[in-house]
A = this chain, B = another copy of it.
Amino acid sequence: MGASATEPVTAESLRERVDGFLAGHDTAQDRLEFLRARFDAGLAWVHYPAGLGGLGAPRVLQPVVDQRFAAAGAPDNSPRRIGIGLGMAAPTILRHGTAEQRARFLRPLWTAEEVWCQLFSEPGAGSDLAGVATRAVRDGDGWLVDGQKVWTSMAHQARWGILLARTDPAAPKHAGLTYFLCDMHAPGVEVRPLRQATGEAEFNEVFLSGVRLDDGLRLGAVGEGWAVARTTLMNERVAIGGAALPREGGMIGVLARTWRTRPELRTPALHDEVLRLWVRAEALRLTGIRLRQQLAAGEPGPEGSAMKLAFAALTQQISGTEVELLGAEGLRHDHWRADRPEELDLTGRGPTYRWLRAKGNSIEGGTSEVLRNIVAERVLGLPAEPRTDTGVAWKDLPR
């Protein structure tokens, strides 16, 4: 470890660094050049190591930098568009990657030159991710990959994918996996849009047929894929988006406004339901504020899981109540076009869209059922269920 020769980074010193950077770089210059320069100055993600876009600073200081750049009107790296890269691929590469891999991938990832996608879920392996069947077989100095992935957002735009594949079917399920960085431009990668109940195709199916990957694209050791994937998943769950909303800032605001402005729609028996939802929404909002205060004070807790669970249930119920409040009007849909939205707007489009889309909130990013298991075992310390699938060769498991 050794004591660093440099001063410890503080909010004040960061502000100075940003101001210095801005003095030397015109925010109106070429977007990509600006972002590359910001990365090279260690002002991309300040908690990353020097040389990889950061300064080894505390993570909680990142907002200081982001706010300073935003206030100066600097171009950003479309953080929502590259969310998978930022939130999942990057921390995994940082932790498990070789020096070459870090140097090759992190910069274009952060500057949004290269979009990433996640090739984990399969038709037969959803909640049970460690059951993936996509095979990767040694082929000289590389690997041949065959299989099918699903629920892959951004696959149609992605340059790279983080890929979990089975390299040893005779090993127990968790032991036979290896983690790869998949070249989405490689021959044999086919991306097909996957349409949802909303009519949209936010996600894709990805078919991998004899896809050849160089061994340099393996992340972590052969057979260590599960441990690497856990880094990815842990980071998926940590992410808490954006700033705290004001009161009625989310979906509840839409319902409350409809209730207020359309008295002719009100039904007496629905009044208490609206009040109950308002209470729950405000309780959840305050929970988010408290969680952010804890994170800012360097006291991370497991409350993010509570927020995801509560958020999924609440958005489903608020939007469902809104549709019923609207009556016949609530049964009108805007369109069933198979759009390919890149950003999810939970209060966008109409009530029926919101209601349908919210159904996905308890499935994507870990189902609410899996999340409840995790809360019960890791937060509350309740015992695991007896497992029948962990000591057996993967190929011999019933499926």
Contacts and interface: CB of A to CB of B under 8 A. Distances in A.
Copies per complex? Answer: 2
Given A268-B271, A271-B272, A386-B388, 9 more contacts: A268-B272, A269-B271, A269-B272, A269-B275, A270-B272, A272-B272, A272-B273, A385-B385, A386-B386
Contacts of A273: 272
A310 B158 CA distance: 51
A268 B388 CA distance: 52
A270 B271 CA distance: 10
A396 to B, nearest CB: 16
A301 B108 CA distance: 65
Contacts of A270: 272
12 contacts: A268-B271, A268-B272, A269-B271, A269-B272, A269-B275, A270-B272, A271-B272, A272-B272, A272-B273, A385-B385, A386-B386, A386-B388
Contacts of A272: 268-273
Contacts of A269: 271-272, 275
Interface string A260-271: 000000001111
Nearest to A267: B272
Nearest to A270: B272
A74 to B, nearest CB: 50
A198 to B, nearest CB: 30
Interface in A263-320: 268-273, 275
A279 to B, nearest CB: 10
Contacts of A386: 386, 388
Interface string A349-385: 0000000000000000000000000000000000001
A272 B386 CA distance: 43
A277 to B, nearest CB: 13
A386 B385 CA distance: 9
Nearest to A387: B386
In order of increasing CB-CB distance, the 4 nearest A-B pairs are A272-B272, A269-B272, A386-B388, A386-B386
Nearest to A269: B272
A273 B270 CA distance: 11
A386 B270 CA distance: 44
A271 B386 CA distance: 46
A395 to B, nearest CB: 20
A196 to B, nearest CB: 27
A275 B269 CA distance: 8
Contacts of A268: 271-272
A1 B270 CA distance: 63
A386 B387 CA distance: 8
Interface in A104-132: none
A155 B150 CA distance: 62
Nearest to A389: B386
A376 to B, nearest CB: 15
A325 to B, nearest CB: 14
Contacts of A385: 385
